[in-house]
Chain A
Amino acid sequence: MRYIWLIPILPGIGAAINGLLGIRSFSRKTAGIVACTMMTAALGLSLFAFWQLLGLPADARAFDYNAFDWIPNIPLETTNGVGLFHITWGFRLDPLSGMMILIVTGIGTLIHVYSTAYMADEPRGGVARFFCYLNLFCFFMLMLVLGNNFLVMFVGWEGVGLCSYLLIGYWYEKKSAADAGKKAFITNRVGDWGFVLGVFLIYMTFGTLDFRAVQNAAALMPIEHVHFGVLSFICLFLFVGATGKSAQIPLYVWLPDAMEGPTPVSALIHAATMVTAGVYMVGRNAVLFSHAPQVMLVVAIVGVLTAFMAASIGLVQYDIKRVLAYSTVSQLGYMFTAMGVGAFSAGAFHLMTHAFFKALLFLGSGSVIHAMGGEQDMRRMGNLRKYMPVTFVTMMIGTLAIAGIPPFAGFFSKDEILFRAFLSNKFIWVVAVATALMTAFYMWRLMAMTFFGAYRGPAWDTAHSADVAVAADHCVKHPADTQAHGQAAKTSHEVSHGPADDHSHQSSVVSHDDHGGGHGHGPWHGPHESPAPMTFPLQALAIGAIVAGLIGIPAAIWPGGNAIEHFLEPSFTAEHHVAEHGVGAESASPAGETHAVAETEHETEPQVSRLEEIGLMFFSVLIAVAGIATAQKFYVTSPEISEQWKERWAGAHRVLSHKYYVDELYNATVISGTFGAGKGLWAVDRNVVDGAVNGAGKLTVVGSWFSGLTDRTVVDGLVNLVGWVVQESSLAFRRFQTGLVQNYALLMLFGIFASVGIYLLLLAR
């Protein structure tokens, strides 16, 4: 299994090819083929690796491969003296990461195929850029899930954030898309801050960042039931990181706006893979978290509140992708609830099933948007099942799966979470059940508004409506359109709404008629089924959404069931056996025992009978059916009820339509606070720092003025004085120079007489 390093590298190579060559010179088709080939190869390799992993005995299913030394030994301070900070670029394949690479490569491949058709109207270089980003995302995501220490995981963690930013802002000419990208990136940065602090603290405490070593060391530490110790702080910081990446309260605000990106991106990154990175990370550190029960409670409460809040917002949204976005936030909340109540494998199981049905729903919504020529407002759809049967059927399967109708995938995973929540904390269970009711309601509402009822969309040219039947084929093969046309389609294609807009009436402002259709190949011929590269992934994911749950059938109704839990369990516990590398061999066995005690204690808390479990199961099905029935009554059989309710509960409706005013709250507090602080610092800079500099300048000017004055008066004065004295004295002395020779001769004569006289009278004596 030494080849697992190839799994992330393959999409990385694809990204490099498309990024370096493709944007310049590849056709749309070549770019798509390169990207899809790399993903398919990665998928094949992942399947093979997973198959080999299954071949190992259950307790030996972990394989580490250290590709190279990344950071050689650096002495660094830890709480236990100076440690050696040594990081290898290592990969780890175990049940959890094995499941994740299958999700990433499997769903990733399907979405790559889907994108080849969905993005066919983009300009040529744009398609290559898109596939470059998409492949790069898969590279980083696989790095994230395969990394065997926190630092490699962090590289992937940051990398997926970057790709998310790039892909949300793919249509960067559109301001709302660029803003949404920035919002996602900055919000994630807050979470990453927590993650990095957690990693620092882990190194300080354990002296290593290797998952296995950290787990083994943490398993030896006491469970922090009462005091809030270092493990609790580590887990709290890591959870802050998870709230950013996985869109939980309070950092969930970026995910709904992320719908500005192309729909395949929403499906891959903002539904199936990247947003589950936080859940994966919590699962990866299950040993740490189960030693910090107080933080676990925080995780569960935050998760369930997020689930409830997002689901309630989803009830009133009209943008088809926004409903799904809030649904994603809500389902991620479920996963964190599961993690928080200690049901790590249930959370991971829900992660997997959710990846299937949510990717399916997003791709289906993309198909609908494609069919409607860029329309995203569900009030302008309706009765689409007549025009696009494949999309309808597959989306129906996804809806039933997420609503929790057996035997679809969502039922098993969600029911497992509800059951574990019931065992752990009744309050959490009640909120989670309410959320399940709302989930069923808003999903059926989405289906009803989109596929049932009367068609409410714009009319189309009936003269060409005969083309509708062939439009599906037409779509794929349309000739390479001009750059300009692609640009025009891009500007209004997938128009979504800005973060602070009012969704209840904003959609009507958006004009979709100006470009005829979202396909860039002539006038829009009305809603039609999408081409094969789009419907094939839908069907494949629909099959996944049906059968994926079967590996997690509860033991209560199927003896020997819940295979997924037994499969994943080793990833959530410290090692029971001596590691292959011998690292931590001495600590392994006591670690295992302590943790085994912890686990049994955890699992044996409240026992319920099998009958009770089955009863709860029926109850949750009942809830789901009730939600569906209500939505059916509200939006299909008697639509006037929903209008009446909207008026009767106008206040509540307004609050939900405005998403609880959270964006406004953040604008008013954090954002304007940051702006204010920036302005304040600017004022300090301008007044104090600039003032000091200017003051120094002024001081120099004044000093030099005095210096100049001295120079002018004292130095120049002395020089001038000399000149003046000479000049003035010369006035007197020049009188002697008469120019008359006889004067000189007379003087000479006097001189001679005087000299001779003196000589004769005085000296010659």
Chain B
Amino acid sequence: MEITPTHYMLLSAALFIIGVVGVMVRRNIIIIFMSIELILNAVNINLIAYSAQQQNAVGQVFAIFVIAVAAAEAAVGLGIILAFYRNKETINIDEMNLMRW
């Protein structure tokens, strides 16, 4: 069976849904971060799939940019988590409500 763009789209959508649900429902910030990575990678799959189909390298270049940005985001995010943990002794996201009224 030949692998068509539809398959890639379905994979990407599944991965995206898993990531979004992970962000919404999990309480551990690390897990949330990992879910965000899933969302980003779902996007990457989409980009590369279309790049291959269109025979256009721009999509792949874009995916590399997304990976770079995700790496930077992960570094910053992990720094914040570390700082938060030092203050609060927890990484439960429900405890992160300092910006409330």
Q: Interface SS of chain B: helix, strand, loop or mixed?
A: loop
A 723-765 binary contact with B (CB < 8 Å = 1; else 0)? 0000000000010011111100110010000000000000000
One of B23, B98, B101 near A742 (C-beta < 8 A): B23
Within 8 A of A (CB), among B57-81: none
A739, B93: Cβ atoms closer than 8 Å: no
Most buried by B among A737, A738, A741, A746: A741
One of B20, B23, B24, B100 near A738 (C-beta < 8 A): B100
Question: CB of B2 within 8 A of chain A?
Answer: no
Taking the closest CB of chain A, its distance from the CB of B67, in whole angstroms, is 22
* CA of A739 to CA of B20, assembled, Å: 19
A749, B100: Cβ atoms closer than 8 Å: no
* CA of A742 to CA of B96, assembled, Å: 10
Within 8 A of A (CB), among B81-101: 93-94, 96-101
B97 / chain A contacts, CB cutoff of 8 Å: 738-740
* CA of A610 to CA of B80, assembled, Å: 152
Q: Could you tell me how many residues of chain B have their Cβ less than 8 Å away from some Cβ of chain A?
A: 11
* CA of A737 to CA of B24, assembled, Å: 17
A746 / chain B contacts, CB cutoff of 8 Å: 24
A745 / chain B contacts, CB cutoff of 8 Å: 23-24
* CA of A513 to CA of B61, assembled, Å: 139
B93, A740: Cβ atoms closer than 8 Å: yes
User: Contacts A734-B101, A737-B100, A737-B101 known; A742 to B93 CB distance under 8 Å?
Assistant: yes
Taking the closest CB of chain B, its distance from the CB of A702, in whole angstroms, is 48
Taking the closest CB of chain B, its distance from the CB of A739, in whole angstroms, is 3
Most buried by B among A734, A742, A749: A742
A738 / chain B contacts, CB cutoff of 8 Å: 97, 100
Taking the closest CB of chain A, its distance from the CB of B97, in whole angstroms, is 3
A749, B24: Cβ atoms closer than 8 Å: yes
B24, A739: Cβ atoms closer than 8 Å: no
A739, B98: Cβ atoms closer than 8 Å: yes
One of A739, A742, A749 near B99 (C-beta < 8 A): A739
Most buried by A among B23, B24, B101: B101
* CA of A737 to CA of B99, assembled, Å: 8
Q: Looking across the interface, which residue of chain B has its beta carbon closest to that of A730?
A: B101
A740 / chain B contacts, CB cutoff of 8 Å: 93-94, 96-97
Q: Looking across the interface, which residue of chain A has its beta carbon closest to that of B101?
A: A734
Within 8 A of A (CB), among B1-27: 20, 23-24
B98 / chain A contacts, CB cutoff of 8 Å: 739
B100, A742: Cβ atoms closer than 8 Å: no
* CA of A235 to CA of B6, assembled, Å: 142
* CA of A746 to CA of B93, assembled, Å: 14
Within 8 A of B (CB), among A342-390: none
A741 / chain B contacts, CB cutoff of 8 Å: 93, 96
Nearest 10 A/B pairs, CB to CB: A739-B100, A739-B97, A734-B101, A739-B99, A737-B101, A740-B97, A746-B24, A737-B100, A742-B24, A745-B23
- Beyond A739-B97, A740-B93, 6 extra complex contacts between A and B, CB < 8 Å: A734-B101, A737-B100, A737-B101, A739-B98, A739-B101, A749-B20
**A-B contact list, 10 entries, CB within 8 Å:** A737-B100, A738-B100, A739-B97, A739-B99, A739-B100, A740-B93, A742-B24, A745-B23, A746-B24, A749-B24
User: Which B residues have a C-beta under 8 Å from some C-beta of A?
Assistant: 20, 23-24, 93-94, 96-101
